[in-house]
Structure 1
Amino acid sequence: MAIKKSELYSSLWASCDELRGGMDASQYKDYVLTMLFVNYISDKYAGNPMGLIEIPKGASFDDMVALKGKPDIGDRINKEILRPLFSANGLEGSMELVDFNDDDKLGSGKDKVETLSKLIAIFENPGLNFKNNRAEDDDVLGDAYEFLMRHFATESGKSKGQFYTPAEVSRILSKVISVDKADKPSYTAYDPTCGSGSLLLKVADEAPNGLTLYGQEKDIATKGLAIMNMWLHGYPEASISGGNTISTPSFKENDGTLKRFDFVVANPPFSVKNWVTGINPMDDEFKRFRGFGVPPEKNGDYAFLLHIVASLKSTGKGAVILPHGVLFRGNAEAEIRKNLLQRKWIKGIIGLPANLFYGTGIPACIIVIDKENAEDREGVFMMDASKGYIKDGNKNRLREQDIHKIVDAFNRQWEIDKFCRLVPYSEIEKNEYNLNIPRYIDTQEEEDIQDLNAHLNGGIPQKDIDALQEFWTVYPNLRKDLFSPIREGYAKLNVEKSAIKSTIFEHSDFMQYDTQLNGLFEDFKSVNHSKMNAISFDTKPKDFIKTISEDILERYGNKPLIGQYDIYQHLLDYWNETLKDDVYLIVEDGWVAKIKRILEKNKKGTEVDKGWTCDLIPKELVVNRFLASEYQDLVSIETELESVQAELVSFEEEHAGDEGVLSDATNDKGTITKTTLTAFIKEIKSNPAEKESLSIANDLLKLFNREAELKKDQKDKTTALDNLTLKTFKELTEEDVRTLVVDDKWLASIKASIQTEIEAISQRLTGRVKQLAERYENTLIELDKETKTLEDKVSAHLEKMGLVWS
């Protein structure tokens, strides 16, 4: 039975993190990712003489499993698994092997044996079996690796998290340099500061037939991660070298000059202070600074940028992440910037949100370099994308809609107010080649100015009503129904404030446009319903979601009042939360509703059966479609039970207090129970003076008895309904499953999510109209009169009290 990917990755991280103990995440990641690496290549290549990777006899993951519990497990993993494996594939000496026998990091004796044995057990999870993934693009390994890397980067802190570039940012870099047009694997891509290789691999993902990859990484441990990452993702032939890129670049032509590439991407360390170590910039053998200038000795941002420029072919394209300072700092950097701009190699600049990266919290930008047809370029495409993100723990993260909008706007060179535009070179020259984004993109929101005339004389300013023109274009008759002119430039509200919302919601213009928007979803449904029902074992889930998400994006494009990227995000959110797991389950298991028991461990460690569930179909969908009347019977009982319990509370509040007739029926906590009430009735039933108390007590006892009956009925009905639901699940046909999943679950959920976006339209308009109405509801004269009236009342009261107000 397939395992939900979201549960797999979460449990994988939780298990690994639990075993970490006091070890720093930046160190512990090496053990976990090495284990994942051995697991993957063993599953994929063990016993395959034609495989790209050789797995020596005795050096597979199964052999590692056999070492669990052995007293010398750490030493044997080093000697019997890792060294033979790396030696057989020519990696010995090219990367640092993590030491599985390190007592300082893993503990000693039994502690180390237990830690390593448990770590191996985590990767025995059947969900991490890479041999038989039925989904052709089910990149369990890639997704697991990405998941772990992101969490390790988060846990490692600023100084140690630089090995990982967030996948969302990597995707932008790979999509704005036209990698999708590289249709042959002979095209080359290079990352001079490749870290763990994640950015380089994202670039390769964009190429239809792959790329030839090159990377250089100074940190030897991180270089090892990059090599493993390349192997894990099907690029064992990638060239990953070590050393300092600036002082000793690894990749050269036969004549000793720098090797040039079709694509270069990089996320170099920001503002390196010792970049000149090992190099004399004035006598650089690779001539990287000739004609541009030498970067400041204590800031290496432009050193990396000029290295990238020098590493590009004459038609090459690159993208690099750098701090905003490179856009406006003066002196030597200003001269370099001017020389780059005069060559017209800078195609665009994309300003990103702050706090995206694990190595720093400062905002950064993407500088896009394109040497091809540079002489025809008329300006630099500038974009301020700093406001599009969500909070994710202690970091910010780009959403799918942010990525798509950035890439679309950049590649199509759209002009969007307060977001992006092509800035002519003449304008840049007037600004002395300063590229600071706020000089060219004004993102300031217009100030909501108070109108003194309206405050003095009443009325709502027409200019504020005119500012809502986007609504009046769609609702042409609503404006005159809401407002009437009272004098030049001012209007009054035609309805009561309390009626603003209903007037908008019930207006024919609003309902007509609401119908149009709902029609867009019905069109989406009619086109994609068959695609959803056609999911089978040969479906590629990533192609599937791309197809339907691009369809919904296009369908809601250029529609007033509603953002197509917001709608797109709703679908992608649902994909990540639910739909992705469901699609992979169907690819693996088919259209069947497989049930499983819910087993939880109690405090003693014993597994307890907590019932059953189905990952693909929630119980309530089956109940709603097939057992509605039985469910309604249960709801009736629960409704009556709530009513009885409300009466019990009311009785207690009225009669159980210190002065209440049932005060003697309470326990030491001051509450009435059936036991205390029964004892009270027994005590007073023969006392004629307690006739009223007895009557009230008996009424309350009837409620307690009814509550008990209803609780029993509720329990019996709930059990019966659960059993009947289980029986119904087992009888579901494939057609039933398709209807429940596609119609009742997927499409219903997506529609409900999109409906919140549609409702937000009216809420925005309602909120603004109400705000204006309240702001100018009373004139200053009326407020003065009301203040005077209140003052007179206070003075009169004080005078009656014998006080004089002065």
Structure 2
Amino acid sequence: MAIKKSELYSSLWKSCDELRGGMDASQYKDYVLVLLFVKYVSDKYAGVADALIEVPEGGGFQDIVALKGQKNIGDGINKIIANLAEANDLKGVIDVADFNNADKLGKGQEMQDRLSNLVRIFENSALNFSKNRADGDDILGDAYEYLMRNFATQSGKSKGQFYTPAEVSRVISKVIGVNLAKSQDQTIYDPTCGSASLLIKAADEAEHGLTIYGQEMDNATRALAKMNMILHGHDTAEIWQDNTLSTPYFKEVDGSLKTFDFAVANPPFSSKAWSNGIDLVKDKFQRFDGYGIPPAKNGDYTFLLHIVRSLKSNGKGAIILPHGVLFRGNAEAEIRKNLISKGIVKGIIGLPPNLFFGTGIPACIIVLDKENAENRQGIFMIDASKTFVKDGNKNRLREQDIHKIVDVFNKQLEVAKYSRMVSLGEIEGHEYNLNIPRYIDSQEEEDIQDIEAHLLGGIPKQDIEALSNYWQVYPTLQQDLFTVADRPGYLMLKIPSSEVKACIFAHPEFISYGEEIRAVFERWQGKHTPLPQLTSKVDELTAKVEGHLQRMGFVW
């Protein structure tokens, strides 16, 4: 029987309740996620020959279960996890939490009861991960992300940086073209990978796989990233712990930075201590050559330039940064000018405010592309700041928002009040200021009231002309519905208003267009639903969509 996500999520969040009181919410993850990892690998691999993870004797979840109610449960769990870590080269990854810490877990009986209750939650027979995949659904991976998202929400402003919302990660992975990767030999890199949620989402877009590299400064968060990679099937991913800016790990034989096919990043915003350990006069990795040195108290452009230097000559990347990088002056203005002049910036996507954990300020995605950069004549901009849904105390991109951003960006479609290609000449005329509102007016048009129509009757002709998209689909419907009024600039209905809906539904052009829509759905059904057991679901979906179209007239 498949695990229900709702039941899994509820059980896992109960485990957090057992830890409340002795520690900050940001530390729950050190205990809960490690137990989740041990339970998962034990269910999947215990007793399995040549398994991905070896579960040694005295190193599995059942060994932890045997400690319930014992006075030495905390020390015992530490030893079991140490055995599992030792057998799989995971020291410093899964053994970072101290289950015998009296300050966090209580002394004596309190610790004994707290840890025993915690183990019981994971012992629940409904949480069996031995066959967690159902219909291609990564239940455990989803559960891990659920916990990460909740930890970020609970942890407060300074602790939410280890998680990038999945919706934003999906947008980034799709606009940099990871899906076009041809082989596993191609590489992807995140210099500030946090728990690796962004890196995983991006890598998963590659049909043939990618070789994954990541670096994270915080040791505990690096441990989360490594566990996350294993849980999502990327056990060979190389995740290193150190300061990417002062001590980048991934280098070529000659000491220069290693370069990658793709790079993504969601670095800490406006870091004030980025220059520690870096020679600003002569950076040995040449990240500032030809661009300029970022301000000493703001590291936004430092991370961007690190990615630029880490991309191959045809490499593509994206980085999430606050909007200030688009318009701030002085040293950043010079860097921005040089980046634009070299053609490396392919696009900018303005995101809604309050999407990210730890900050409510709006951010943007800067899309970088070195391929054919010298011939780039413009920067494609999207203002997606108004396309979101409120979700609790945060905002969230919906499926239609993600689809619109990705479709418009990848097809370079110009949509009024939403997107346009801005020429380098126009940007130069604005002194290389990239602030999106300078180029895209996203303000909604004011609803103009026609006083004369209110007083004397009639329908303003301009209101009818504003429905031109409909008249293109139903070219004769306008003539069947309206006639010229007794004064210029106004029309009148030919039929009573109560009969308008019936007239539209019975109109030959409306019926014909409905048949075209149905044909499109039937072709889609034939192409994408070859399994008989899915046909009924598709028919149900098709019927719902057609019913919606009929109720709304023409709405697409």
TM-score (norm 1): 0.64
Match of 2:87 in 1: 88
In structure 1, the partner of 2:540 is: 748
Shift of 1:520: 2.8
Task: Mark the CA change 1:763 to 1:429 in structure 2 (over 3 Å): closer, same or farther.
Answer: closer
1:534-570 per-position Cα deviation (integer Å, ceiling 9, x unaligned): 36xxxxxxxxxxxxxxxxxxxxxxxxxxxxxxxxxxx
**Out of 525, 531, 540, which is 1:528 matched to?**
525
C-alpha deviation, 1:266, in angstroms = 0.2
Among 507, 510, 515, the alignment partner of 1:513 is 510
Partner secondary structure for residue 116 of structure 1: helix
Residue correspondence of structure 1 range 547-566 to structure 2 within 5 A = none
- Residues 322-370 of structure 1: CA deviation (Å, up to 9, x unaligned): 1111111111111000000111011111111111111211111111111
The correspondence of residues 326-475 of structure 1 with structure 2, limited to 5 A, is 326-451=325-450, 454=453, 459-475=458-474
The 1:758–1:119 alpha-carbon spacing in structure 2 relative to 1, beyond 3 Å, is farther
The 3 A distance-change label for structure 1 pair 507 and 153 is same
Partner of 2:64: 64
SS in 2 for 1:348: strand
**Residue pair 2:195, 2:222 contacting (<8 A) in 1 also:** yes
Query: In structure 1, what is the equivalent of residue 46 of structure 2?
Result: 46
1:417 deviation in Å? 2.0
User: For each residue in 1:130-154, what CA deviation from the matched residue of structure 2 results, as whole angstroms up to 9, or x when unmatched?
Assistant: 3235647332211111122122222
Distance 1:423 1:16, change over 3 A: same
Counterpart in the other structure of 2:303: 304
Take 2:225 and 2:332, find their aligned partners in 1: how far apart are those partners? 32
Q: 1:787-798 alignment to 2 at 5 Å?
A: none
Kindly report which structure 2 residues correspond to 1:65-464, keeping only aligned pairs within 5 A, or say none: 65-79=65-79, 81-93=80-92, 97-133=96-132, 135=134, 137-451=136-450, 454=453, 459-464=458-463
Q: Percent identity?
A: 57
* Partner-residue secondary structure (3-state), 1:152: helix
Tell me, in whole angstroms, the C-alpha distance in 2 between the residues paired with 1:761 and 1:25. 50
- Deviation per CA, 1:397-428, whole angstroms, max 9, x where unpaired? 11112112211221222222222222221111
Partners of 1:525 and 1:747 within 8 A in 2: no
1:456-512 CA deviation, whole Å, 9 max, x = no partner? Answer: 7654322222222223334433455345322111234556xxx53542344356575
Q: 1:265·1:320 contact (CA, 8 Å) conserved in 2? A: yes
Listed one character per residue, the Cα deviations across residues 619-656 of structure 1 (whole Å, up to 9, x for unaligned) are xxxxxxxxxxxxxxxxxxxxxxxxxxxxxxxxxxxxxx
Q: Judge conservation of contact 1:529–1:742 (CA < 8 Å) in 2.
A: no
Is the alpha carbon distance of 1:45 and 1:6 closer, same or farther for their aligned partners in structure 2, counting shifts above 3 Å? closer
Cα distance in structure 2, aligned partners of 1:100 and 1:25: 16
The whole-number CA distance in structure 2 between the counterparts of 1:128 and 1:380 is 49
1:201 alignment partner, SS class: helix
Q: Residues of 1 paired with 2:46 and 2:90: CA distance? A: 18
Q: Distance in 1 between matches of 2:91 and 2:61?
A: 19
1:131/1:358 CA distance change after superposition, 3 Å: same
Deviates more, 1:130-139 or 1:51-60: 130-139
Q: Structure 1 residues 127 and 374, CA, compared in 2 at 3 Å: closer, same or farther?
A: farther
Contact map agreement 1:382 1:422 (CA 8 A) in 2:
yes
The answer on whether the counterparts of 1:128 and 1:141 sit within 8 Å (CA) in structure 2 is no
Deviation at 1:231, TM superposition (A): 1.7
Q: 1:511/1:147 Cα in 2 relative to 1: closer, same or farther (>3 Å)?
A: farther
CA distance in 2, matches of 1:73, 1:521: 63
* Alignment-mate amino acid for residue 62 of structure 2: D
Distance in structure 2 (CA, Å) of the matches to 1:227 and 1:379: 39
- 1:392–1:750 CA distance, 2 compared to 1 (3 A): farther
Q: What amino acid is aligned across from residue 62 of structure 1 in structure 2?
A: Q
Distance 1:762 1:404 in 2: 21
1:541-620 pair list within 5 angstroms: none
Shift of 1:12: 2.6
Which residue pairs with 1:503 in the alignment?
500
Query: How far off is 1:20 after superposition?
Result: 3.6
Give the partner amino acid of 2:521: F
CA shift digits 1:711-752 (9 cap, x unpaired): xxxxxxxxxxxxxxxxxxxxxxxxxxx6xx964x76436633
TM-fit CA distance, 1:754:
5.6
Q: Which residue of structure 2 lines up, in the alignment, with residue 601 of structure 1?
A: none
The CA distance in 1 between the partners of 2:88 and 2:52, in whole Å, is: 9
Aligned to 1:549: none
5+ residue gaps in structure 1?
A: 536-737, 765-806
Distance 1:322 1:387 in 2: 18
Whether the 8 Å CA contact 1:172–1:403 is kept in 2: the answer is: yes
User: Residues of 1 paired with 2:252 and 2:94: CA distance?
Assistant: 24
| Offset, 1:296 | 1.2
For residues 224 and 311 of structure 1, the distance between their equivalents in structure 2, rounded to whole angstroms, comes to 24
The one-letter amino acid paired with 2:329 is: G
Find the counterpart in structure 2 of residue 651 from structure 1: none
Structure 2: which amino acid aligns with 1:500? Answer: S
User: Which residue identity lines up with residue 78 of structure 2 in the other structure?
Assistant: N
Aligned counterpart, 1:759: 551
More moved, 261-270 vs 476-485: 476-485
Scaled by the length of structure 2, the TM-score of the pair is 0.92
Please name the residue that 1:547 is paired with: none
SS at match of 1:283: coil
Corresponding letter in the other structure for 1:751: A
Give the 3 Å change call, closer, same or farther, for CA 459–502 of structure 1 in structure 2: closer
Aligned residue pair count = 554
Structure 2 counterpart SS, 1:755: helix
Q: Is the 8 A contact 1:477 1:509 kept in 2?
A: no
Q: Tell me which amino acid in the other structure corresponds to 1:210.
A: G
* 3-state SS of paired residue (1:229): helix
The structure in which a higher percent of residues are helix is 1
Equivalent-residue separation in structure 1 for 2:6 and 2:508 (angstroms): 42
Measured at CA, do residues 91 and 7 of structure 1 come closer, stay the same or move farther in structure 2, by a change above 3 Å?
Answer: closer
SS in 2 for 1:230: helix
Q: 1:138 to 1:301 in 2, by over 3 A?
A: same
Q: Distance in 2 between matches of 1:48 and 1:492?
A: 78
Q: CA deviation at 1:199?
A: 0.8
Matches within 5 A, 1:561-710: none
Q: Which deviates more, 443-452 or 396-405?
A: 443-452
- Return the alpha-carbon distance in structure 2 between the equivalents of residues 763 and 534 of structure 1: 30
Equivalent position SS for 1:241: strand
1:174 partner amino acid: S
The gaps in structure 2 that reach 5 residues or longer are: none
Residues in 1 aligned to 2:380 and 2:422: alpha-carbon distance in whole angstroms? 6
